[in-house]
Amino acid sequence: MQVRVCRYSDVAGVSETYLVEVWQELYEAINNVIDNVTIADLVNRRQK
């Protein structure tokens, strides 16, 4: 069974493999930010 990642990938001319790679990179980038923000960072941002 083939799972379609994006129903518009054929129209956009973008391969689904490329889309999966982009989403994986976004996931990793977001997790990197989340993993490196402390509660103290959030408090300091709130106080500014």
Domain spans of the chain, in order of start? 9-47
The band of 22, judged by pLDDT with boundaries at 50, 70 and 90, is: confident
pLDDT for residue 26 is more than 80: yes
User: Looking at residue 5, what is its pLDDT?
Assistant: 58
Mean pLDDT calculated for residue range 15-29: 84
Q: Residue 40: CB partners within 8 Å, gap ≥ 6?
A: none
pLDDT for residue 1 is more than 60: no
pTM score: 0.56
Integer distance in angstroms from the first to the last C-alpha of the chain?
52
User: Looking at residue 29, what is its pLDDT?
Assistant: 94
* C-alpha of 22 from chain center: 7
